[in-house]
A and B are shown apart, each in its own frame.
Chain A
Amino acid sequence: MSSRGLSRWFDRKGWAALLVGAPYLWLVVFFLLPFLIVIAMSVATKTPTAPPYSIGGEHPWINLGSFGRVLTDSLYLRAFLTSVFNALVAAILCLLVGYPMALGLTRVSKSWRNILLMLVILPFWTSFLLRVYAWMGLMGKSSWFNGLLTDTWNLLVPIDWAVKSVPMMNTNFAVVLVMVYTYLPFMILPLYASLERLDPTLDEAAMDLGSRPSQVFRDVTLPQSIPGIIAGGMLVFIPAAGELVIPTLVGNASQPMIGRLISDEFSQARDWPMAAAIAVALLVLMVVPTMIYSHYQARAEGTK
């Protein structure tokens, strides 16, 4: 091919191929391939060698033993339940706190709105690990915050129920609280985006027709923000269910979440097939919420 032909080929097709090809190839090699290896690993057999597995070596080629344990061993089932429960409660609490905040953001003046939006996003840019850590400081037995809660509690309840300090660290409660804290921006931002688009004249029309403000909210605002609610809920639920950092730092070690189990099976028990099987099971569990999310996300964008 002459250099002119080459340059014409590049103009017509080559540049597009490069634009698609480079990131495509990267993701196939560094994301898809490792992922397929994990799936293959989940049906491998654990061996005491290094690396600690054998795959397709001898009969049976496919070992479903790890999946069998995921489905029958109560340790794994409990971990799945704990994860789903914590993530679900966190998502609901985020909704209850985030919805009025997002609605409030649409009602303040334009200049205030930009500042407040910035303040919602700002913690998101600062270190996730340090935001979890900040709560460790607050929840500890001797902290001022725990002291405040303890005093309030002791003031309100009969003297027999008085406590020295509120047990917060290393509980499921702490996990959910910190999840709400770290994932709340994920709920507020999509909710704000969907509420901001609503037509205020609809509210006024409903008011003029005699609706009370609570009825306007129930009949007009709420139904129109459902795509935002679902999108925000999934954005909280999906990462929360697979969370590793929060349960490790503030959670209860005897009630592990699924992310912790995967990490322990892999690094401590050195049972790679088992870790891979739990990972695959977690992903299967995530498929449904992810599909719901992308469905409503597409709808939320479609109504623009």
Chain B
Amino acid sequence: MKRRPTFLITVLCFGFAFFYIPILSMIVYSFNASRLATVWGGFSTKWYVSLLSNQNVIEALLLSLKIALVSATVATILGTMAGIALARFSRFRGRILFSGLVIAPLVMPEVITGISSLIFFILLADWVGWPGSRGFATITLAHITFSMVFVTTIVQARMQQSDRAIEEAAMDLGSRPWQVLFDITLPVISPAILSGWLLAFTISLDDVVITQFTTGPGSTTLPLLIWSKVKLGVTPDINALATLMVLFVGAGVLVAGIIMNRADRRRLADERLAYRTNG
């Protein structure tokens, strides 16, 4: 006797409607011919045309991508190191402080992270004369700091699931720790590293609050540009920009998900094949 959970299915439907109706509405209104962003005035793609010919938007997008690329890469390297260290070394001096430092940026309100970074950069400029002006470098440093801990969380979780026996076997067969790390540990956790990088990239690409505090004159990222416009209200060209971003990120996540899923399945199939040929 298995009852269909009608109530739960209904809530699920309403829940997903709640998730997606605002986004769909925004997409529909990006094709609105009317200048009034919320009143329908016929179909048009003119906001896309004006958007793509807007030099400020293109420049802001390029700056955002540059910052996201650099900060995600450095954050992934540092975050992976921290994740491996926390999962493999159960004891070292200062471990308690270290594990606290890895969690604190996750729960710290962004306003506080932003203000403390800004004060730090201002005082640093006072003490050592750098950074002379805030912009690409200061934003990137701040982004690395608060996105690396997300990578750490993902890598640490993956490390705790992975089988230590393979690493130990390699050690017994004479590999040096450094070789074990590069030949075994890193390939095994590579999906986690990839998701960590993607997460760090999107976090950086999306950030407003911390960027707002660590930026300087002339360095406008895409979220800052959007932020300054949406504070004044809803406009059709932001609808168009939002649509492009949502579709782009959505497609990216879908493709990444499918690739990872397939890689996972291939690995499982390989493992099964290996067991069968050996047994």
Contacts and interface: CB of A to CB of B under 8 A. Distances in A.
Interface of A: 10-11, 15-16, 18-20, 22-24, 26-28, 30-35, 37-38, 41, 51, 97-98, 100-101, 103-105, 107-108, 116, 118-123, 125-131, 133-138, 140, 142-145, 181, 184, 213, 238-239, 241-245, 248-249, 259, 262-263, 266, 272, 275-276, 279, 282-283, 286, 290, 293-294
A73 to B, nearest CB: 19
5 contacts: A22-B81, A30-B145, A131-B22, A142-B38, A279-B112
A181 to B, nearest CB: 7
Contacts of B112: 38, 242, 262, 279, 282-283
Contacts of A282: 109, 112
A15 to B, nearest CB: 5
Contacts of A101: 8, 11-12, 15
B19 A119 contact: yes
A245 to B, nearest CB: 6
A34 B148 contact: no
Looking at chain B's contact residues, is the secondary structure mostly helix, strand, loop, or mixed? helix
Contacts of A51: 122-123, 126
Contacts of B119: 34, 37-38, 41, 272, 276
Contacts of B5: 103-104, 107
B11 A144 contact: no
Given A38-B115, A239-B109, 19 more contacts: A10-B178, A20-B89, A23-B152, A26-B78, A26-B144, A26-B145, A27-B101, A34-B120, A51-B126, A116-B16, A118-B257, A122-B250, A126-B245, A129-B223, A135-B22, A137-B239, A138-B25, A279-B111, A286-B107
A121 B252 CA distance: 13
A3 B81 CA distance: 25
Nearest to A137: B234
A244 B234 contact: no
Contact of A133 (B146, B206, B234): B234
B231 interface: yes
B8 to A, nearest CB: 4
